[in-house]
């Protein structure tokens, strides 16, 4: 029967290899998938080396002692680049490879050092090593790298949240937990590196983190399997966060609006045509009733660039895409309330019929537009409707 440490050791190496194999076998791999698979491959090698050192001092393979040191410089860049490509915030070019230069430099520095050190010196059996100052500086570099890349990854997540808010008409059920788990898990690892300088503790927390990735990654649609057909969503570089003008424009502001259109290559006449087509589409097809509607969906239907459509909505309505669609949903909800045959349904059922996908989103947007909660509005209008405890929240 294997001892406890061997079970942990084998598990810490087997899990990333297993996830790596799953990703390699995934059809239609994206660049983000390839980055994640490479990350898992190097994580498996790192666990193999670090686990051997932590649990049996690598006495049987002394030549490999110390080669685990460059690997921590890979994990931060892999985390950052994976999030960068997964959220579509990358730019073209070869510069992304520069993130791996520190790991390469450390490996080149250590190559002559590790080959010249006897195993007893590597294991600290002969007292302090002559290369101890070098290793201290490398450890400091590892800590700095980890902290910097966690901060950079958090910034990517913040920017991605802004992009989601620009393009989606319902945001309550769009979860970013997968990215939060990755960043949070890496943060925990660096805390262990800084405050618990123990090889076995670090190995264990990395093994748990990889298990964590596997468990939630398999549950998350699209990470280790192909996602179902989705609504049209564009990269942040395609849909920039527009400036929202005042809700009501005075006549003297028309000239400024013309200048704004000219700078973007969109004339006021073209903007008016797109706006008219958008209103016709909403009146005839009631697209706002699609709970998953995105800016990309409408842009594709109207055959216009998503950034142009966003600009038209902002300029003509004085609202973001999100507020524009939810205002239409609230208006449709109020119309349904006026129909006696609809009053046998609950408020939430009518809200879902109009395109809302959660009671929180419904109540928030309704109150934002009418200054009243849905139940207060119903009472004020003396409308008798089916009771629903979930209509508030």
Give the pLDDT confidence of 235-253 residue by residue, as tens digits. Answer: 555 555 444 344 333 433 4
Do 366 and 332 form a contact (C-beta atoms < 8 A)?
no
Q: How confident is the model at residue 212 (pLDDT cuts 50, 70, 90)?
A: confident
Question: Which residue, chain included where needed, has tokens 């808010």?
Answer: 165
Distance, in Å, from the CA atom of 192 to the CA atom of 169, rounded to the nearest integer, reads 41
Distance from C-alpha of 146 to C-alpha of 80, rounded to nearest angstrom: 11
Alpha-carbon radius of gyration of the chain: 28
User: Could you read off the pLDDT of 99-157 as tens digits, one per residue?
Assistant: 999 999 999 999 998 888 887 777 666 667 778 888 889 888 988 998 999 999 999 88
Where is pLDDT greater, at 305 or 196?
A: 305
Taking the domains of the chain in order of start, what are their residue ranges? 4-219, 251-391
Greater confidence (259 vs 324) lies with: 324
pLDDT band at residue 382 using 50, 70 and 90 as cut-offs:
confident
pLDDT of residue 3: 53
pLDDT confidence tier of residue 333, bands split at 50, 70 and 90: very high
Residue 310 token pair:
């966003």
Written in H, E and C, the secondary structure of 143-159 is: HHHHHHHHHHHHHHHHH
Residue 367: predicted pLDDT: 93
Average pLDDT over residues 34-62: 78
Give helix 4-24 / helix 199-219 axis angle, nearest 10°: 40
Annotate the chain with three-state secondary structure.
CCCHHHHHHHHHHHHHHHHHHHHHCCCCCCHHHHHHHHHHHHHHHHHHHHHHHHHHCCCCCHHHCCCCCCCHHHHHHHHHHHHHHHCCCCCCCCHHHHHHHHHHHHHHHHHHHHHHCCHHHHCCCCCCCCCHHHHHHHHHHHHHHHHHHHHHHHHHHHHHHHHHHHHECCCCCCCCHHHHHHHHHHHHHHHHHHHCCCHHHHHHHHHHHHHHHHHHHHHCCCCCCCCCCCCCCCCCCCCCCCCCCCCCCCHHHHHHHHHHHHHCCCCHHHHHHHHHHHHHHHHHHCHHHCCCCEHHHHHHHHCCCHHHHHHHHHHHHCCCHHHHHHHHHHHHHHHHHCCHHHCCCEHHHHHHHCCCCCHHHHHHHHHHHHCCCHHHHHHHCCCCCECCHHHCC
Q: Is pLDDT of 199 > 60?
A: yes
Residue 383 pLDDT? 79
Query: Beta partners for 66?
Result: none
Q: How far apart are CA 66 and CA 61, in angstroms?
A: 11
Mean pLDDT of 350-376: 90
Residues 377/370, Cβ–Cβ less than 8 Å: yes
**Average pLDDT, whole number, for the chain?**
78
**Candidate from 45-49, 249-253, 354-358 with smallest mean pLDDT:** 249-253
CATH number for the domain formed by residue range(s) 251-391: 1.10.10.60
Chain-centre distance of CA 117, in angstroms? 44
Q: How many CB atoms lie within 10 A of CB 62?
A: 15
Q: Is pTM beyond 0.95 here?
A: no
Q: Which pLDDT band holds residue 326 (cuts at 50, 70, 90)?
A: very high
**Rounded Cα gap, residues 374 and 358, in angstroms:** 14
* 72 vs 8 pLDDT, higher one: 72
pLDDT class for 33, splitting at 50, 70, 90? confident
Q: In the prediction, which pLDDT does 257 show?
A: 45
In whole angstroms, give the CA distance from residue 40 to residue 21.
9
Integer Cα distance of 88 and 106 in angstroms = 30
Comparing 231 with 48, the larger pLDDT belongs to 48
Highest mean pLDDT among 26-35, 39-48, 326-335: 326-335
End-to-end CA distance of the chain: 55
Q: Which of 135-139, 190-194, 269-273 has the lowest mean pLDDT?
A: 190-194
Question: pLDDT: is 148 or 233 the higher one?
Answer: 148
């Amino acid at each position: 029967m294997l001892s406890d440490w061997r079970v942990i050791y084998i598990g810490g190496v087997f899990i990333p290899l297993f996830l790596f194999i799953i990703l390699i076998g995934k059809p239609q791999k994206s660049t983000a998938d390839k980055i994640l698979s490479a990350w898992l491959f190097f994580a498996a090698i790192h666990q193999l080396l670090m686990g051997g050192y932590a649990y049996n001092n690598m006495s049987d393979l002394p030549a490999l002692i110390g080669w685990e040191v460059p690997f921590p410089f890979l994990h931060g860049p892999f985390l950052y680049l994976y999030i960068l490509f997964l959220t579509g915030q990358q730019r073209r070019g070869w510069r992304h490879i520069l993130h791996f230069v520190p790991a390469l430099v450390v490996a080149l520095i250590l190559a002559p050092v590790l080959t010249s050190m006897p195993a007893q010196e590597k294991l600290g059996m002969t007292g302090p090593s002559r290369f101890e100052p070098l290793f201290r500086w490398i450890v400091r570099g590892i800590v700095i790298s980890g902290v910097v890349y966690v901060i950079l990854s958090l910034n990517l997540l913040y920017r991605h949240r802004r992009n989601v808010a620009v393009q989606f008409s319902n945001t309550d059920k769009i979860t970013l937990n997968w990215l939060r788990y990755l960043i949070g898990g890496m943060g925990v690892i660096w805390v262990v590196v800084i405050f618990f300088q123990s090889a076995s503790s670090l190995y264990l927390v990395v093994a748990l983190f990889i298990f964590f990735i596997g468990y939630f990654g398999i549950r998350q649609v699209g990470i280790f399997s192909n996602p179902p057909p989705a609504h049209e969503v564009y990269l942040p570089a395609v849909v920039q966060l527009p400036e929202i003008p005042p809700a009501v424009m005075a006549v003297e502001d028309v000239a400024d609006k013309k200048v704004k259109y000219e700078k973007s290559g969109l004339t006021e006449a073209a903007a008016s045509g797109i706006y008219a087509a958008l209103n016709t589409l909403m009146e005839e097809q009631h697209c706002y009733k699609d709970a998953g509607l995105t800016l990309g969906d409408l842009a594709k239907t109207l055959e216009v660039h998503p950034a142009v459509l966003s600009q038209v909505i902002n300029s003509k309505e004085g609202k973001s895409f999100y507020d524009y669609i939810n205002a239409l949903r609230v208006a449709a909800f109020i119309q349904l309330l006026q129909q006696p045959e609809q009053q046998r349904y609950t408020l939430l059922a009518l809200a879902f019929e109009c395109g809302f996908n959660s009671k929180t989103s419904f109540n928030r947007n309704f109150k934002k537009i009418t200054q009243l909660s849905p139940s207060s509005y119903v009472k004020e209008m003396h409308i008798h409707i089916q009771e629903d405890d979930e209509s508030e929240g």
